[in-house]
Each structure stands twice: as C-alpha cells, then as structure tokens.
C-alpha cells in the first residue's frame, strides 16, 4: 500500500537531534518544515516557541500531519542559571504545542515528543 508523504513540522531543527530527525524524515520522502529560533538559518522557519500565539499561527499555517518536538535547553549550567526560562521552553512549550495539535479539526495531526536528554 502506498502512503502519500506526510507534512512534518520539526521544532529544534537547528540542534543535533532536530537536524538528524529532519534528515531522516526527508530521506523517507516526507515534506519537512524545520523550526528554530536562536540558530534559524537558511531553510528553517524562525519561531519563538515560548510565544504561544506565534506557535498557534505557525501550526495553523503549516498544517503538519505530524509535529516532532525536539527543541529544548539541554545544557545543565544554562538550566541551573536560567531555571524559569528553561522551564518555559522545556515543559510549558511542549504542553502548549500538544494543546494546539489536539485542537486540529481534521484529526490527522499527531505529536511526537523526543526529549533531548
């Protein structure tokens, strides 16, 4: 049975895990939209994932079938020195993305969370 390519949105696409996920998904024939913030380069959409409205608009615009959320602060010294910012990115952002994904009316959106550590 032949399946059409899925639209996949990958957060943290400029990071080690995100880049690998994008590569694998593209290699499997999927249409991949990579999202990054501090290192958003060519081929990536810049989006502040801590901005809930920006995330909602991004998901509505891109209409992904799958969202693979790999964005996170993974360096212990940064986590320790910027605890609230890290909590917002690592925990609350994932919850918000899941909430927006669940609101999709076509029933096709799925969320995969891949922790960085």
Strand order in the sheet with 66-69: 44-46, 31-36, 7-11, 66-69, 110-113
The confidence score (pLDDT) of residue 46 equals 96
Q: Which two tokens stand for residue 9?
A: 């949105």
Residue 78 has pLDDT above 60, yes or no: yes
Residue 3: predicted pLDDT: 60
> Domain spanning 7-113: which CATH class is it, in words?
alpha beta
Q: What is the dihedral of CA 109, 72, 28, 7, to 10 degrees?
A: 30
pTM above 0.75, yes or no: yes
Tens-place pLDDT, residues 7-60: 999 999 999 999 999 999 999 999 999 999 988 788 899 999 999 999 999 998
Residue 3: other Cβ atoms inside 10 A: 6
pLDDT band at 71, cuts 50/70/90? Answer: confident
Query: Residue 11: beta bridge partners?
Result: 35, 69
Banded model confidence at residue 103, pLDDT cuts 50, 70, 90: low
Q: Copy the structure tokens of residue 12.
A: 């943290």
Q: What is the DSSP letter of 14?
A: T
Q: 100 versus 103: which is more confidently predicted?
A: 100
């Amino acid at each position: 049975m032949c399946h059409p390519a899925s639209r996949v949105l990958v957060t943290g696409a400029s990071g080690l895990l995100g880049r690998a996920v994008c590569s694998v998904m593209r290699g499997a024939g999927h249409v991949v939209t990579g999202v990054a913030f501090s290192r958003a380069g060519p081929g990536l959409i810049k989006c502040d994932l801590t901005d809930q409205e920006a995330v909602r608009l991004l998901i509505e615009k891109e209409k992904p079938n799958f969202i693979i959320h790999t964005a996170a602060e993974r360096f212990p010294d940064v986590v320790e020195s910027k605890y609230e910012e890290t909590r917002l990115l690592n925990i609350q952002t994932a919850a918000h993305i899941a909430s927006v994904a669940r609101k999709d009316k076509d029933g096709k959106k799925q969320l995969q969370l891949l922790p960085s550590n």
